[in-house]
Structure 1
Amino acid sequence: MGDHGDAEATGAGPAPWRRPQALMLTFCAHYMLGRDEAIYSGSLIEVLRRVGIGEHAARSTLSRMTARGLLERHRSGKRVYFALTDQAAAVLEEGGRRLGRAVNRDWDGTWTLLGFSLPETRRAERHLLRSRLTWAGFGLLQNGLWIAPHAVDVNRLLDGLDVIGHVKAFRASTLRPSQIDDMIADAWDIREIARGYRDFLRRWDGPEPPPEAADPLSHQLLMAAEWLLLIRQDPRLPLRHLPADWPAVRAEQLFLHRRETLQRQARPVVDALLHRLPLRPGPALTH
């Protein structure tokens, strides 16, 4: 297997879900979240090696994640260990709440609408707000008007942005002559969303995993990292307003079925691989 981290550095990088940090965060969510312990750096480097990441890229990933406040270093003798920070735990817990189901089978017919208008001089804030709206499942219906097919905590969405006076938000249902199917087609690229799920099925819905998923741990991490990226990009549009063969249905069934099996199979691999350091109250290393 090639070193995906080095490929990324040359510009011919891997798919986003195969990047070292995405895979490391996936591992942390499964095996470090909620545990008062740190993991030996060599163990984490071996985890990444199993999903095709070379040692240099793995060490760089651990350093970058530490610099970004996602990991903290601890030392025991000559060994360096890494633990999750509170910031990382919050990120992973939020991701975990979204990790399971992708299909919106029980939509109540209401939308969250958000409109904003920011001057050209605040371009950076506009870009950040649009990024947050996309992450929260909004689509751009028309100039300045974004819609999401679920309830959104708008105060949390806008936290830290100085835009309150420029935003209007509502909860509403659709009235004639508006057609929901047309609204969805205008606000989201459903072909692109469907393509992601079809790619996932082509990769994972077979009697044998792809060659890079050589053992239960690598299979688990690669599949879960791809799935998380898919559902982060999926606004969970109401199923009754999507094509009859919407591929997220079968992809969701596949992921949920495989998830429990792979967790059970990967657990002994992880237990044999990891060197753990129980943590006591005290400062972590800052460098």
Structure 2
Amino acid sequence: MNTRSMIFTLYGDYIRHYGNHIWIGSLIRFLKEFGHNEQAVRAAVSRMSKQGWLKAEKKGNKSYYSLTEHGVKRMDEAAKRIFKFKPDEWDGKWRMLLYTIPEEKRSIRDELRKELVWSGFGTLSPSCWISPNNLDDKVHSLIQKYEISDYIDFFIASYDGPGENQRLVEKSWDLEDINEKYNDFIAHYSQKFIIDRNKIKKGEMTDAECFVERTKLVHEYRKFLFVDPGLPEELLPEKWYGNHAAMLFSDYYKELAEPANRFFESVFQDGNEIHNKDESYNVLNHPLMTD
């Protein structure tokens, strides 16, 4: 678990609900629980600032960091996918994006590819990306962000054979590999969930330990954002482990939530404005969790 990724997780699951900014001293204290030292935290924060994810603010002799507008948008997108446990109903249409970005804009092309994968697009063929999900707004946002309207064509279409829709899925994603990753997650965390639930009931698990375990849980589960396109149920294999993994994540997350948040607030209240907490945020019933 690299320091940068852990900081993203902390912002996504905690800090953004408490005014979105944090004293660097508190961030160092939180990351210490995971074995990250001060030097690593400061280096990661500096790198994230240069990449446009964080912005700094000085108050007296203290430095505070908050997510940029770009960072907030990415955290919102990620949270909506992490805590959404069932896909939207499919309209039967495919979103198709084709591009011919010239070699001199190779860096933009590489960034676009990363964004498309993260958003859930799959590659039907070189430079042809598809998704059954309504990602129209996302596509138009990417076109505007990278200023590539001259190189992009975007279609909303129906598949008319000669095979079934599953044929497009098989060409564009390796669902067998994704399913295996979900199975590994279930095998590991189903046992940990039972053990930790019993320890919490017996008072044998500290708030700090719950904080560490919940953060690790979110950190591991959010990795599926980079591999699982979130396909509609009609396009998934009959034996799909994603739904089981989502329910396990939800149950485990809620079990750890209260003590984990107690620890967060106990550290955060020193040097930060804890009164900026979002009143709508309920740690036991995450506002984005949907059945």
What TM-score do the two structures reach when normalised by structure 1? Answer: 0.79
1:126 aligns with 2:109: yes
Aligned with 1:123: secondary structure? helix
Once the two structures are superposed, residues 3-37 of structure 1 have per-residue CA deviations (whole angstroms, 9 ceiling, x without a partner) of xxxxxxxxxxxxxxx22112112112222214347
1:179 aligns with 2:164: yes
1:86–1:104 Cα change, 3 Å: closer
Deviation at 1:87, TM superposition (A): 3.7
Alignment match, 2:190: 205
Alignment match, 1:54: 37
Q: Aligned partners of 2:166, 2:265: CA distance in 1, in Å?
A: 49
Q: Aligned partners of 2:189, 2:40: CA distance in 1, in Å?
A: 26
Aligned with 2:145: secondary structure? coil
1:181–1:174 Cα change, 3 Å: same
1:161–1:29 Cα change, 3 Å: closer
Alignment match, 1:278: 273
Aligned with 1:63: secondary structure? helix
Aligned with 1:208: secondary structure? helix
Once the two structures are superposed, residues 191-243 of structure 1 have per-residue CA deviations (whole angstroms, 9 ceiling, x without a partner) of 2222322232233211236xxx9711111111111222212431112223322
Q: Is the 8 A contact 1:137 1:234 kept in 2?
A: yes
Deviation at 1:260, TM superposition (A): 2.4
Count of aligned residue pairs for this structure pair? 259
Q: Is the 8 A contact 2:94 2:157 kept in 1?
A: yes
Alignment match, 2:125: 142
Alignment match, 1:163: 148
Alignment match, 1:222: 216
Alignment match, 1:91: 74
Q: Is the 8 A contact 2:85 2:247 kept in 1?
A: no
Q: Aligned partners of 1:37, 1:139: CA distance in 2, in Å?
A: 33
Aligned partner letter, 1:265? P
Higher helix share: 2
Which sections of structure 1, spanning at least 5 residues, go unmatched? 1-17, 280-287
Once the two structures are superposed, residues 31-89 of structure 1 have per-residue CA deviations (whole angstroms, 9 ceiling, x without a partner) of 2214347433332212112123233322322333334341424334x544434444432
Most deviating of 64-73 and 221-230: 64-73
Most deviating of 243-252 and 260-269: 260-269
Aligned partner letter, 2:59? R
1:269 aligns with 2:263: yes
Aligned partner letter, 1:193? I
Q: Is the 8 A contact 2:56 2:63 kept in 1?
A: no
Aligned with 1:33: secondary structure? helix
**Counterpart among 242, 256, 273 of residue 236 in structure 2:** 242
Alignment match, 1:253: 247
Please give the residue correspondences for 1:6-25 in structure 2 after superposition, counting only pairs within 5 Å: 18-25=1-8
Once the two structures are superposed, residues 160-182 of structure 1 have per-residue CA deviations (whole angstroms, 9 ceiling, x without a partner) of 33432232211122223232222
1:239–1:37 Cα change, 3 Å: closer
Aligned with 1:194: secondary structure? helix
Q: Is the 8 A contact 1:66 1:73 kept in 2?
A: no
Q: Percent identity?
A: 27
Q: Aligned partners of 2:147, 2:75: CA distance in 1, in Å?
A: 26
1:106–1:40 Cα change, 3 Å: same
Q: Is the 8 A contact 2:22 2:64 kept in 1?
A: yes
1:36–1:111 Cα change, 3 Å: same
Which sections of structure 2, spanning at least 5 residues, go unmatched? 197-206, 275-291
Q: Is the 8 A contact 2:11 2:20 kept in 1?
A: no
Aligned partner letter, 2:41? A
1:217–1:122 Cα change, 3 Å: same
1:214–1:200 Cα change, 3 Å: farther
Aligned partner letter, 2:134? A
Q: Aligned partners of 2:51, 2:232: CA distance in 1, in Å?
A: 36
Deviation at 1:258, TM superposition (A): 2.1
Q: Is the 8 A contact 1:72 1:84 kept in 2?
A: no
